[in-house]
Amino acid sequence: MLKVVKFGGSSLADAAQFEKVRQIITADPARRVVVVSAPGKRFSADHKITDLLYLCYAHLQYGVSAEGVFSMVVERYRSIVADCGLSADIDKEFLALYEKMQQGISQDELVSRGEYFAARLMAEYLGFDFLDAAEWLQFSFDGQIDREHSYEALRRIAEDRSVVIPGFYGVMPDGHIKVLSRGGSDVTGALAAAALGADVYENWTDVSGFLVTDPRIVKDPEVISTITYRELRELSYMGATVLHEDSIFPLRQEGIPIHVLNTNAPQDPGTMIVENTCSKPKFTITGIAGKKGFASITVEKSMMNTEIGFGRKVLGVFEDNNLSFEHMPSGIDTMTVFVHQNEFAEKEQQVIAGLHRAVQPDSIDLESDLALIAVVGRGMRRTRGTAGRIFSALAHKNINVKMIDQGSSELNIIIGVANDDFETAIKAIYDIFVITRL
């Protein structure tokens, strides 16, 4: 049994967090491959190490001394070394890094040191080997991850060892360090799990799993115990995030489940993300997510339904203006296209003119400040009345539903409402499916 485990920045913020990680690792011998982020915030006004390192680089760029910010970084690691009783001589390495900064260092190399030092210290604390990501995570010349060679390299070097790997970066073919996008340690963890054929990929954060909805809208929402990759994709697309989206593909391809867990409450069951499951969801819906800031363009033309190619011509206008659309509900004589308002605003008049030219509509109606809400759940497929319950909950709150779109997978229902009704609508849907069922 092998568990590849990744700890986020808040799980490494200080010595007390290091100790929690150690307890989690020692509680299960299957946890042999550990991937770490750079230390995160210890309290809300604190700084993440990665942010400080980006700031250091900005100072260097503008020819301003980076000494003050750099010493904040060094201090954070020094206190971890002292409080954990470690012997690593990091001062010497930081001095060498500072010299390299004066001579010219790339931004990627500098910010990658956050993860590098975190992994070095964690390896010593756990008594594991430090395994540098630069030894196996390889990019191709075009900057894409070279999965084949990376997997092969990791298998060769990590086989049967207990290791700590820094997340977030890898190496270009010319030997230069390159970082992934922000939050990329999740991706490193996922790649390591896929390469080594892990039984599970554990992603330890500071929340007890994936929540049914946004805690900024609903206080203390329930945790989702099991979610499928497809449901996760629908919810993430609508703005719900726990994991870096690029981390899903390598795991899904190998059929490896993800277990999202809380370092500060390791006894909590967390969320399992799986390809498929027979487990019955606790509620009819799995999650609710949404986004504000959409606009809709409704094109009306009588007898539109008989005009072959009408839809293609309408969408062609959006394509010509380089606009992607989100949803496209249609009626007999109307077709509505939902787009991101900020992208549409600057092209509005070109689109209207283009539509007139392309399909000679009877009218074009525009509406802005709309929000889209996705109600997602594999349980909806076999339950009758889900849509009815959503709409009566919204009607009770006096919310006008502007659009309804049920995905053909029956996995989701998308609802359009005014931006101002967004929060009330999410609360109403949460209440009807979750609160009344508890």
Q: Which residues bind ligand ASP (CB under 6 A)?
A: 9, 37-38, 48, 50, 114, 167-168, 182-186
Q: Closest CB to ligand ASP among 182 and 382?
A: 182
Q: Closest CB to ligand ASP among 109 and 186?
A: 186
> Given CA atoms 82, 83, 86, 90 in this order, what sign does their dihedral have?
negative
Eight-state DSSP code of residue 240: -
Q: Per residue in 7-19, is it b (16+ CB within 10 Å) or e — as a string? A: bbbbbbbbbebbe
Q: How far is the CB of 4 from ligand ASP (least distance, A)?
A: 15
d(CA 281, CA 45): 38
Cβ atoms of residues 186 and 203 within 8 Å: yes
Q: How far is the CB of 223 from ligand ASP (least distance, A)?
A: 22
Q: Closest CB to ligand ASP among 181 and 277?
A: 181
d(CA 162, CA 286): 36
Q: How far is the CB of 49 from ligand ASP (least distance, A)?
A: 7
d(CA 190, CA 248): 7
Q: Closest CB to ligand ASP among 184 and 281?
A: 184
Q: How far is the CB of 230 from ligand ASP (least distance, A)?
A: 24
Q: Closest CB to ligand ASP among 6 and 301?
A: 6
Q: Closest CB to ligand ASP among 49 and 297?
A: 49
Cα separations in angstroms, 163 against 120, 146, 166, 417: 10, 22, 10, 50
Q: How far is the CB of 92 from ligand ASP (least distance, A)?
A: 23
CA end-to-end distance (rounded Å), the chain: 36
Q: Closest CB to ligand ASP among 8 and 379?
A: 8
Q: How far is the CB of 39 from ligand ASP (least distance, A)?
A: 9
Q: Closest CB to ligand ASP among 247 and 296?
A: 247
Cβ atoms of residues 269 and 202 within 8 Å: no
State the CB neighbour count (10 A cutoff) for residue 426: 22
Residue with tokens 């209440």: 431
d(CA 54, CA 80): 21
Q: How far is the CB of 271 from ligand ASP (least distance, A)?
A: 18
Q: In what order do the strands lie in the sheet with 3-7?
A: 129-130, 163-166, 31-36, 3-7, 200-205, 258-262, 271-274, 226-228
d(CA 236, CA 311): 28
Q: Closest CB to ligand ASP among 203 and 341?
A: 203
Q: How far is the CB of 362 from ligand ASP (least distance, A)?
A: 51
Q: How far is the CB of 309 from ligand ASP (least distance, A)?
A: 46
**Minimal CA–CA distance to 3: which of 159, 263, 199?**
199
